[in-house]
Structure 1
């Protein structure tokens, strides 16, 4: 774990300590007014209670939002480091002799996602269409739903080297800084995504 994540741990300790302090502070003030001073709770006391409670709610909400509900901006180089890996796929053959690089498994009819299968170095890999896309090299290179600065010069170079049959694996990792540490995300993976590059749609085997 990155040492920057201790920023978030310390922040949570402070918030928990603040919560405990507020609970005991409200209790002690009320007891002092009712038991020691034998007076009634005033609107001033209630407003003080509400102010302390609001401060705790805002602190907890802020940390929860930073830790769980913020969406990563993959184009923000101050927030994440993005790396690209390129691996050539191995051609497979159907029973009738048709060659293909990617097989789409549609057997799970109840699932909104397809399952993609491909082969690298004689090993089979499986990935959900939720985390991958098939890219037809006969069409312009586009990846919908993932906002990244795609290295098109490198991709064109890989197209020539691997004859449009390879996998682009994208890793986005949170950088070590105060903001990511506060959200307990520093040095952790934000996203993994794959682009399955094929020469044409005819190199896709759809299994139903």
Structure 2
């Protein structure tokens, strides 16, 4: 069985996300109100009062437009452009899962746990393959890293509180041949609900733990 690790958003709607939906409804209603309000004021001045557009009218228009722009920009930033702080326990909950890898052998009898497929890799990302319970998994180097058990445990570029005591015990149990899966999930609160991401996964990352670099098969 061949499986590809492909991270996707959880589709289940959480009640906290209705905060964001209501906020968008209010903003859209505000936008409609501003458009009609500006139109009606201008028509009243030009048609009913037979007057001219003054700087006071223009400044009022600009003020209403700025309010709408700020409201839309704020919601867009909260929903799409804010980066998750994986160390902020009030925002995300991080869980870890551990699965022992199955050893594979090359044609010449060399054992390995991870294969790097250069044919499928791009110039910026590599493709890793590994085996769990007789199933093949693939994951991009964007979402995973290979950790050499002969070196101190480190994961560069990803700020997480890795359970080092647990990892040390599993190193001995699985002989440095297992996968650590870290999952960060947005908590149910007002801030995450406003961004329409409450109870959804923020990140999934895998550490492929191997005893040494010799247990990596690079297929060209």
Task: Please state whether the residue corresponding to 2:154 is helix, strand or coil.
Answer: coil
Deviation at 1:112, TM superposition (A): 1.6
Gapped regions of structure 1 (runs ≥ 5): none
Partners in 2 of 1:171 and 1:108 — Cα distance? 25
Q: 2:64 aligns with which of 35, 39, 52?
A: 52
Corresponding residue for residue 129 of structure 2: 117
Alignment of structure 1 residues 159-198 onto 2, 5 Å: 159-198=171-210
Whether 1:21 and 2:33 are equivalent positions in the alignment is yes
Deviation at 1:83, TM superposition (A): 0.3
Corresponding residue for residue 216 of structure 2: 204
TM-score by length of 1: 0.99
Stretch of structure 1 that moved more, 68-77 or 99-108? 99-108
Corresponding residue for residue 109 of structure 2: 97
Partners in 1 of 2:78 and 2:122 — Cα distance? 34
Corresponding residue for residue 131 of structure 1: 143
Deviation at 1:109, TM superposition (A): 5.7
Partners in 2 of 1:120 and 1:109 — Cα distance? 21
Residues 33-91 of structure 1: per-residue CA shift (max 9 Å, x gap): 00000000000000000000000000000000000000000000000000000000000
Corresponding residue for residue 43 of structure 2: 31
Stretch of structure 1 that moved more, 104-113 or 161-170? 104-113
TM-score by length of 2: 0.93
Deviation at 1:111, TM superposition (A): 3.8
Deviation at 1:107, TM superposition (A): 1.0
Task: Please state whether the residue corresponding to 2:61 is helix, strand or coil.
Answer: helix
Partners in 2 of 1:93 and 1:120 — Cα distance? 15
Partners in 1 of 2:69 and 2:169 — Cα distance? 53
Partners in 1 of 2:184 and 2:122 — Cα distance? 30
Task: Please state whether the residue corresponding to 1:4 is helix, strand or coil.
Answer: helix
Partners in 1 of 2:120 and 2:191 — Cα distance? 40
- Paired positions, count: 208
Partners in 1 of 2:175 and 2:117 — Cα distance? 24
CA RMSD in angstroms comes to: 0.7
